[in-house]
Structure formats: C-alpha cells, structure tokens
Amino acid sequence: MLEVLDRSACVELLRSVAIGRVAWATESGDAVVVPVNFVAMDDGVVFRTAEGTKLAVAQEGRRLSFEADDVEPALQVGWSVLITGTAEVVTDSDEVRRLQLLPLAPWDPEPKPYFVRIRASEMTGRRLPLKAGGVTVEHSGDETD
C-alpha cells in the first residue's frame, strides 16, 4: 500500500506546500527540529533565516535533514518527503537577487536576510494513496427520472 516516490514526484509534492522542518544534531547529540517556510528546487530546498543557530549550522556546511508532508486524517492518505544534504548560505549576488523574487515570505515578521540551500544528496518520499472505496458521494434533494 505504501508507494515509494521517485525524485520528480518528491519535488512536485514539495512544491505543493510551504512549510517544512529542518533538522540537525547538536554536538552533544541532541536533535533540533525547526519549522521553516521554503521553496522546493530541483536539487533540494531553499529557506530564509536570520542570525542564529540555523545560519551558524549552514555556515559550518553541516549536513541537515529537511522533511515536509501533507496528510488527510479523515481519508487516511498522505505523503512525506525527506531530504538529506549539506547546507550552504547563498552568497552569490545574482543568485540572491533571483531568490528574492521567489514566493518565500516568512510568517515571522523578523527580517530574514540570508538564504540557505540544502542540496539533496538524498531525496526519498512515501505516499499512502487513497484506498479504493474509501469515499462515498451522496446526493441530496429531489431527483427526477
């Protein structure tokens, strides 16, 4: 029942949502997972950030994981995409100008002047498809023959 998705299907699904989670391990081994607004690219994802831990981790060129999903509990369907890759702060001025044109507006009003890219060395996805017979359509009102 669980469908394994290829890379192009993963990218297409990522383009259908705006919030994902970035994760990394601290030096003490603790897991850190934080939500981010993002834009999917063919080679991974890009998100904006301000000074702080996410930026510091990206500046170190650390490996990060990124996950996004969408579920419909009533129908018991959904999907999840996981990316693992090296983080990099985008510094090329032409690339920054291009990224500034993308629909990548953070919900948080704090200025987020830095773009971080996670280039996917691995991209995997899974989908729980709609089960046959899982939806019933009912018509109401008078129907004439």
Would you tell me which CATH number, out of the four given (3.60.15.10, 2.30.110.10, 3.40.50.2300, 3.30.70.20), belongs to the domain 3-128? 2.30.110.10
Q: How far is CA 61 from the centre of its chain?
A: 19
pLDDT of residue 51: 93
Closest CA to 99 of 52, 51, 23, 37: 37
Amino acid at 72: E
- Spatial separation of the C-alpha atoms in residues 91 and 25, rounded to whole Å: 24
* H helices, E strands: number in the chain: 3, 8
pLDDT in tens, the chain (145 residues): 889 999 999 999 999 999 999 999 998 999 999 999 999 988 899 999 999 999 999 999 899 999 999 998 888 899 999 999 999 999 999 999 998 888 776 677 788 899 999 999 999 999 998 776 555 556 666 555 5
CA distance 73 to 75: 5
Residue 130 CB partners (closer than 8 Å, separation 6+)? 75, 77
Enter the pTM of the model. 0.83
Element (H or E) spanning 95, and its range?
helix 93-100
Structure tokens given for 118: 């996670």
Residue boundaries of the structural domains of the chain: 3-128
